Amino acid sequence: MSAEFADAAVAADDRTARGGAGRPAGPASGGGFHLAAGRAADGPYALDVSPEKAGWGHSSLRILELPPGGHHSFATGGSEWIVLPLSGGCTVRTHDAEAAADGGGTFELAGRESVFSGVTDFAYVPRDARVRIDSRAGGRFALTGARCERRLPARHGAACDVPVELRGTGTCSRQVNNFGAAGVFECDRLIAVEVLTPGGNWSSYPPHKHDECRPGEESELEEIYYFEIAAAHGTAGLGYQRVTPSGHGRGTDVLAEVRTGDAVLIPDGWHGPSIAAPGHDMYYLNVMAGPGEKREWLICDHPDHGWIRATWPQQPVDPRLPLYQAPAGDPR
């Protein structure tokens, strides 16, 4: 963990202990892996996680907030990126000649009102390009990134093409929007999905890991969780995230109270559950990448908790799900 993030975590822990900034006293942030909202901000980004700052090799996440009429430009460098609207819409332009030759250009993203209101369209932009994002009405946009080798064409991802999956049953029911999943949308290294958990449910459960390369069984992937929690009855929501050491890597150990704008870094370890407080639906964005030759998401369940899967066929899926479906229509 970089000194920059470690310092931010100490500040967050101090704030938690004091009960400051609207947070009651609670568990510590977990050795610098829990980034409370605003503590990893940098320039135009409300959250900026890079491989250098995280102290790992591949995964990145930036949260960009634009006012009405606002714009932002950035160089993709050695990473591929997906521009994903969290709220509002935008225009995404790739600027260099090589990107245009590879099918780049301009993509109009309709976006959405919020992460709890619907599936969104998105734009993929390749490494070694310049990108400009403009938003007429303003909004918040996730830039999910991964260091990569191949330079793929810039593309639009239509909302109607996003598979909406229901995982688990009973109180383990959750919804997964597989917009950037392996086998769904082509990237070189990047894997990204959205998970929505109804209030009172547990997701990322049973706890699982992907911190070893075991061909056909487990892939090695760094992961970022970015959270938004739905307010209810005028009260901001909260949830909890757990990560326990697996015996590999850094021995990551986190018990974090998470709120909107928080992120948790998972370089290794058993992660889960992600717990949504009753009455407050939980959203998280997962960003993953790793060194494996194949782009795949292969996980290993925690041996003490994997038995829960055997109970799922006897229970119905939570009737609150899906919170929404992908819209019908032809891709752009």
Tens of pLDDT, residues 161-208: 999 999 999 999 999 999 999 999 999 999 999 999 999 999 999 999
Segment among 75-84, 87-96, 108-117, 162-171 with least mean pLDDT: 87-96
Q: What is the pLDDT of residue 100?
A: 52
Name the pLDDT band for 25 (thresholds 50, 70, 90).
very low
User: CA dihedral in degrees (204, 206, 211, 217; nearest 10)?
Assistant: -120
Name the pLDDT band for 22 (thresholds 50, 70, 90).
very low
d(CA 304, CA 291): 28
pLDDT at 104 over 90: no
- CB count, 10 Å around CB of 255? 15
pLDDT at 15 over 60: no
Does residue 25 or residue 4 have the better pLDDT?
A: 4
Residues in the chain: 332
Segment holding 73, helix H or strand E = strand 70-75
With b for 16 or more beta-carbon neighbours within 10 A and e for fewer, the 101-116 pattern comes to: ebebeebebebbebbb
The 10s digit of each residue's pLDDT in 280-318 is: 999 999 999 999 989 999 999 999 999 999 999 999 999
The 10s digit of each residue's pLDDT in 61-70 is: 999 999 999 9
Closest CA to 291 of 39, 59, 81: 59
pLDDT above 70 coverage of the chain, percent: 87
Q: What is the pLDDT of residue 11?
A: 39
Share the mean pLDDT of the chain. 90
Average pLDDT rounded to a whole number, residues 228-241: 97
Name the pLDDT band for 96 (thresholds 50, 70, 90).
low
pLDDT at 331 over 80: no
Average pLDDT rounded to a whole number, residues 212-235: 96
Backbone angles phi, psi at 118, to 5 degrees: 170, 170
Q: What is the pLDDT of residue 5?
A: 57
**Integer Rg of the chain from CA:** 19
pLDDT at 243 over 90: yes
Q: What is the pLDDT of residue 42?
A: 96
Closest CA to 126 of 188, 194, 57: 188
d(CA 327, CA 310): 32
pTM for this predicted structure: 0.90
Average pLDDT rounded to a whole number, residues 42-47: 96
**What amino acid is encoded at 201 in this protein?**
N
d(CA 233, CA 225): 26
Q: Is the dihedral of CA 275, 230, 46, 89 positive or negative?
A: positive
pLDDT at 271 over 90: yes
DSSP symbol at 3? H
Name the pLDDT band for 95 (thresholds 50, 70, 90).
confident
The angle at the Cα of 279, spanning 116 to 307, to the nearest 5 degrees, equals: 90
d(CA 52, CA 62): 13
Contact present, 279 and 232 (Cβ < 8 Å): yes
Helix segments in the chain, DSSP class H: 3-18, 51-54, 97-101
